Structure 1
Amino acid sequence: MSTGKRNLSTLDMRSIPLIALNFNVRKRLGLFLNPRNTVASDWMSVAENMGFSYLEIKNYEDCQNPTRKILEDWQSRSSEATVGKLLSILDDVQRKDVVEDLRNLIEEDCRLYLERQKEPPIQVPEVTSCIPRTSERHAITLEDDPEGGKPELFDAFICYCQSDFDFVREMIQQLEQKDCRLKLCIFERNVLPGSCVWTITSELIEMRCKRMVVVISDEYLDSDACDFQTKFALSLSPGARSKRLIPVIYKSMKKPFPSILRFLTVCDYTRPCTQSWFWARLAKALSLP
Structure 2
Amino acid sequence: MACVDSEVNLWSIPLVALNVTVRKKLALYLNPKNTVAADWTAVAEAMGFSYLEIKNHEAARSPAESVLENWQARSSEASVGKLLSVLNEVERKDVVEDLRPLIDEDVRRYCERQKKPPEPPLQVAEVDSCVPRTLEKIGITLDDDPEGAPELFDAFICYCHSDFEFVHEMIRELEQTECRLKLCVFDRDVLPGSCVWTITSELIEKRCKRMVVVISDEYLDSDACDFQTKFALSLCPGARGKRLIPVKYKPMSRPFPSILRFLTICDYTRPLTQDWFWKRLAKALSQPASHI
TM-score (norm 1): 0.66
CA contact (8 A) 1:159 1:226 kept: yes
2:179 is aligned to 180
- Aligned partner of residue 83 in structure 1, secondary structure: helix
1:255 is aligned to 255
2:69 is aligned to 72
2:44 is aligned to 50
Change (3 A) 1:39 1:181: closer
Change (3 A) 1:17 1:46: farther
Quick one: which amino acid aligns to residue 144 of structure 2? D
Change (3 A) 1:167 1:55: farther
- Aligned partner of residue 136 in structure 1, secondary structure: coil
**What aligned pairs does 1:1-289 form with structure 2 within 5 A after superposition?**
19=15, 22-23=18-19, 24-30=21-27, 45-47=39-41, 50-51=44-45, 55-61=55-61, 66-76=63-73, 82-87=83-88, 89=90, 91=92, 96=94, 99-108=96-105, 135-145=135-145, 147-236=146-235, 244-253=243-252, 254-259=254-259, 262=262, 264-289=263-288
Change (3 A) 1:154 1:74: closer
**C-alpha distance in structure 2 between counterparts of 1:59 and 1:157, whole Å:** 30
Listed one character per residue, the Cα deviations across residues 63-82 of structure 1 (whole Å, up to 9, x for unaligned) are xx554222222445577962
**C-alpha distance in structure 1 between counterparts of 2:221 and 2:91, whole Å:** 26
Quote the offset at 1:279 in angstroms.
1.2
- Aligned partner of residue 194 in structure 1, secondary structure: coil
Which ranges in structure 1 are unaligned for 5 or more consecutive residues? 120-133
Listed one character per residue, the Cα deviations across residues 208-228 of structure 1 (whole Å, up to 9, x for unaligned) are 223321223344345443333
Quick one: which amino acid aligns to residue 166 of structure 1? E
Listed one character per residue, the Cα deviations across residues 250-271 of structure 1 (whole Å, up to 9, x for unaligned) are 2334324544562x43222122
**C-alpha distance in structure 1 between counterparts of 2:72 and 2:153, whole Å:** 32
Change (3 A) 1:181 1:149: same
Quick one: which amino acid aligns to residue 181 of structure 1? R
Quick one: which amino acid aligns to residue 83 of structure 1? L
**C-alpha distance in structure 2 between counterparts of 1:31 and 1:233, whole Å:** 28
- Aligned partner of residue 213 in structure 1, secondary structure: strand
- Aligned partner of residue 215 in structure 1, secondary structure: strand
1:130 is aligned to none
Quick one: which amino acid aligns to residue 280 of structure 2? R
Quick one: which amino acid aligns to residue 255 of structure 1? P
Which ranges in structure 2 are unaligned for 5 or more consecutive residues? 116-133
**C-alpha distance in structure 1 between counterparts of 2:34 and 2:258, whole Å:** 31
Quick one: which amino acid aligns to residue 92 of structure 2? D
- Aligned partner of residue 60 in structure 1, secondary structure: coil
